[in-house]
Amino acid sequence: MAVRPGVKYASLALAGAGAAAVVAVWSYREPIARDAINGYLESRDVTASYDIRAIETRRQRLENIRIGDPKNPDLTADWAEIDVGPSMTGLTVRAVRAGGVRLHGRLVDGTLSLGALDRLLPKSTGAPFRLPDIDLSLEDARLRFDTPFGQLGGKLDGQGNLQGGFEGKLALVAPRLARDATCGATNVTVYGDLSVVGRRPTFKGPVRFSEFACGKMSGKAADIGLDSSIAKDMADWRGKGAVRLLSSAMP
C-alpha cells in the first residue's frame, strides 16, 4: 500500500516536531531541575542554596550546598551526586555520594534533630524506623552534635548500602561528657569500624577517656573495647566490651 505524499510529509513533520521538543526540554533541563528543586524546598519551608553542575537522565550533581539558616546552616557540602531510578511510584533515589559534608545535629529529649533537614525527611507513618535502601558514599563527612551531656564532634568516611553492606570509619571526640556536675568523663574519644549488617548498624573499636568521676567512684586512662550493634528500628542495642583502667578508686 503506497503512502500518500501528504501523510508522509505530515509524519515527518510530527517526528521533527517531537525531536525539537525533546531537544528543547533537554536544553532547558537545568532551569527545569532548579524550578523543581526550589519548589520542593519551598513546599517544606527550607532555605537552601546550591550550584547545579550536571543534570543527566539518572544522575544529578550539585555543588556548594548549604541547607538551613545561611548564617548557621545545618548542613553544607562541597558536592553531592544523586542517582535516581524507576520505582512503582515513579522515580526514587538509588544512591547518594557526597564530599566535604558538614552536619550539625542536636539531641533534644532523647530525639535527634537535624534542624531544617528534619522537614525534608519523609513524614512518619507510625511504622518502625528502617534505614533506607540507598547506596551511600561519604568522603570527609564531619559531624557536630549538641547533647545534654556535652558537644560531640566526629568524622565519617565509608560506602555501601544502608540496609546491608555499608562499611566505614567513625571517629568521635568530646572534651567532656557528663550526666551532671558530679558524674562525667573528660577527653572522650571513639574510633573504629562502622558497618551495617542485616539492617543493624554495628560498631567495633575502642572508647577512651583520660579521667572519669561519678559520685565516689573515679578512674584514669580508661580504654573500653566496644563491640555493639543497634536494632533495626534503632529502639535498643546490644554489645559487649572489655574495660582497662590505669587507676581507679572507690569507697
Q: What single string gives the DSSP state of each residue in 114-160? A: -GGGGGGSPPP-SSPP---S-EEEEEEEEEEEEETTEEEEEEEEEEE
Residue 31: pLDDT band with limits 50, 70, 90: low
Helix, strand, coil % over all residues of the chain, rounded to 5: 20, 60, 25
DSSP SS3 for 101: coil
Could you tell me if residue 93 is left (phi over 0), alpha (psi between -120 and 50 degrees) or otherwise beta?
beta
Where do we find the cell 535498643? 236
The CA distance from 124 to 84, in Å, is 22
Is the full-model pTM beyond 0.75? yes
Cα–Cα distance list, 45 to 21, 50, 108, 116 (Å)? 33, 16, 21, 8
Higher pLDDT, 117 or 236: 117
DSSP SS3 for 164: coil
Q: Closest Cα to residue 248, out of 228, 221, 208?
A: 221
- What local confidence, expressed as pLDDT, does residue 30 receive? 54
Dihedral, 228, 204, 225, 105 alpha carbons, nearest 10? -80
Angle separating helix axes 29-43 and 5-27, nearest 10 degrees: 60
- What local confidence, expressed as pLDDT, does residue 222 receive? 76
Q: Which three cell numbers stand for residue 141?
A: 563527612
Write phi, then psi, for 21 (nearest 5 degrees). Answer: -65, -40
Could you read off the pLDDT of 189-213 as tens digits, one per residue? 999 999 998 888 899 999 888 988 8
Mean pLDDT of 216-224: 79
The CA distance from 52 to 82, in Å, is 12
- What local confidence, expressed as pLDDT, does residue 3 receive? 44
Could you read off the pLDDT of 50-77 as tens digits, one per residue? 898 887 777 888 999 999 999 999 999 9
The residues, ordered by sequence, that sit 6+ positions from 233 with a Cβ below 8 Å of its Cβ are 128, 129, 130
The CA distance from 69 to 122, in Å, is 21
